[in-house]
Structure 1
Amino acid sequence: MASTPSTPASRLRREDAARAVAALLRWLQKHPTPAPEPIYLIVALKSAPARRFKHQLRLPHSPFPSISLVSDRLPADLPDDVDPLPSSALRSLPATARRGLVLVDRRLRVPGAGGSGKPAGAKRGVTVPVDPSDPAWAESAREAARCVELQVEGGTCRAVRVGHGAMAREEAVENVVAAVEAAAACVPRKWRNVRALHIKSPESVALPLYSVPGTSSGQDVDGDGNPEAAKREFAAAAAEEQGRVKRRKKSGVDCN
């Protein structure tokens, strides 16, 4: 009788995730910003994949602190968790919108968008096109807000957004654990190819979740023993991910 292949056991201990998340949230509380800062999971692989790949990871909770709808014809039953913005906001999205998820009415045709019909200025925020005339648009938007994309184009270190500084600690831990398990399941050779996992915000140091025995774990929660090379690697991965998200023009549901 043939046996069913088993799923590789997780190498992340939940208590390690909880400790790192608590430390990062404390740091963010001591360094307040106008809008909650994003929290990134940094995935460091032992070897780069032979081919580029991208995989959507579904999180238990939205990693965005806010959801806004840009439209000149707002639905009569706009949900309480969606904030309205005028179409002019696409030209200069406020800081809160840049940190959050921006839904853009598919009917909008903003001058300066060009022949593609894509909203001008949309590259400044994380945008998802929606059709407010669809009765299920709000639930579809909430589902999109729980999705992030792990994209590996080259190298061994990538970042993916998993939360924000205003999240409840337990929700942030749940997101981190879910993202780690999904990421480890989709990369080539799975956990055998995972060298280290960290979390960080744009300005913080990288806090360790997991590392292969015998390798550097980067920055520990208490702030000791962080090699400069590791700091640069993790900071570069997060900065690259932020730049990629801002530059991409959304042509479909893309909520990373």
Structure 2
Amino acid sequence: MSPPAPATAAPNPRLGHEAVVRAVEALLRWLKHHPSPAPEPIYLLVTLKSAPVRRFEHHLRLPLSPFPSTFLVADRLPDDLPDDIELLPSSALRSLPAGARRGLVLVDRRLKIPSGGKGAKGRGRVVPVDLADPAWATSAREAVCSVELRVEAGTCRAVRVGHAAMAQAEAVENVVAAVEAAAACVPRKWKNVRALHLKAPESVALPLYSAPSAGGSDGAKDAKKEGAARVEQGRLKRRKK
């Protein structure tokens, strides 16, 4: 379920393409030596210099899907189900397999998504789809390459940009696109970006960018710790659920 990748713009000089390549290469190498039943997600940690006055939310469009797999939870088989989507019964909503929790989960709008219980939370992403709409597959393909950047409190947020099974060039392409999209939509744009890091749930945060005023400062170190803590907190919540 991979749509044609759009042309990738040249990376911003602030970012440094070589820094992205080194970080992605190191992280993928680390993930290879720490395998898991389902491919681990890769996160971009975006740290701002100052938090937005109001709640901030924006969808970032990536060239490639950051999810290793896509699942459709439905009790009826669509006529045009793509070959790369695995069909799951409605009962799977109560306890999704590990692969589904790491991937993109499409749910038939006619089904009720449980608000609690095992498997109800901690999923990669859940998107309702209307199977009666002939264009449902097109909408699903758009959702596959869309990730959410949301800042409610604090200055750091984790955005999913890839997974452990991606090729290095694919991961680099997604990271560069995510950085440019994030920097373009946050308040005051690049002027408000303090630091960028790349991280898997269990890995250290690898630096991609640090604003000149934040280089080596305690604020940058605190931002890095805050971002790592947010990813770790999310991982622990998924385990508890």
Structure 1 position 74, deviation (Å): 1.2
Residues 165-204 of structure 1: pairs in structure 2 closer than 5 A: 165-204=164-203
Once residues 58 and 158 of structure 2 are traced to their aligned partners in structure 1, the CA distance between those partners, rounded to angstroms, is 13
Structure 1 position 186, deviation (Å): 1.0
Query: Tell me, what secondary structure is at the counterpart of 1:80?
Result: coil
Structure 1 position 119, deviation (Å): 11
Once residues 49 and 10 of structure 1 are traced to their aligned partners in structure 2, the CA distance between those partners, rounded to angstroms, is 25
Query: Tell me, what secondary structure is at the counterpart of 1:123?
Result: coil
Partner of 2:136: 137
Q: Taking structure 1 as reference, are residues 103 and 56 closer, same or farther at Cα in structure 2, changes over 3 Å only?
A: same
TM-score by length of 1: 0.80
**Which consecutive unaligned segments of at least 5 residues does structure 2 have?**
1-11
Partner of 1:238: 231
Taking every aligned residue pair, what percent have the same amino acid on both sides? 68
Once residues 192 and 25 of structure 2 are traced to their aligned partners in structure 1, the CA distance between those partners, rounded to angstroms, is 27
**Paired positions, count:** 226
Partner of 2:38: 35
TM-score by length of 2: 0.85
Instruction: Choose 63-72 or 49-58, whichever is displaced more.
Output: 49-58
Once residues 194 and 109 of structure 1 are traced to their aligned partners in structure 2, the CA distance between those partners, rounded to angstroms, is 39
Q: Does 1:57 align with 2:60?
A: yes
Instruction: Choose 48-57 or 88-97, whichever is displaced more.
Output: 48-57
Q: Taking structure 1 as reference, are residues 122 and 10 closer, same or farther at Cα in structure 2, changes over 3 Å only?
A: farther
Once residues 209 and 147 of structure 1 are traced to their aligned partners in structure 2, the CA distance between those partners, rounded to angstroms, is 22
Instruction: Choose 184-193 or 197-206, whichever is displaced more.
Output: 184-193
In 1, are the aligned partners of 2:47 and 2:223 still within 8 Å (CA)? no
Once residues 230 and 153 of structure 1 are traced to their aligned partners in structure 2, the CA distance between those partners, rounded to angstroms, is 16
Once residues 80 and 117 of structure 2 are traced to their aligned partners in structure 1, the CA distance between those partners, rounded to angstroms, is 24
In 1, are the aligned partners of 2:60 and 2:147 still within 8 Å (CA)? yes
Once residues 121 and 177 of structure 1 are traced to their aligned partners in structure 2, the CA distance between those partners, rounded to angstroms, is 32
Instruction: Spell out, residue by residue over 1:77-116, the C-alpha distance to the aligned partner (whole angstroms, 9 max, x if none).
Output: 3211111111111100000000000100112247xx48xx
Once residues 40 and 184 of structure 1 are traced to their aligned partners in structure 2, the CA distance between those partners, rounded to angstroms, is 15
Query: Tell me, what secondary structure is at the counterpart of 2:24?
Result: helix
Instruction: Spell out, residue by residue over 1:166-222, the C-alpha distance to the aligned partner (whole angstroms, 9 max, x if none).
Output: 11111111111011011111111111111110010000000011002253469xxxx
Residues 105-124 of structure 1: pairs in structure 2 closer than 5 A: 105-109=108-112, 113=114, 121-124=119-122
The one-letter code of the counterpart of 1:66 is S
Structure 1 position 65, deviation (Å): 0.4
Once residues 130 and 59 of structure 1 are traced to their aligned partners in structure 2, the CA distance between those partners, rounded to angstroms, is 20
Partner of 1:222: none
| Structure ID, larger Rg | 1
Structure 1 position 14, deviation (Å): 1.4
After the TM superposition, which segments of 4 or more aligned residues of structure 1 sit over 6 Å from their partners?
Answer: 243-246
RMSD: 2.7
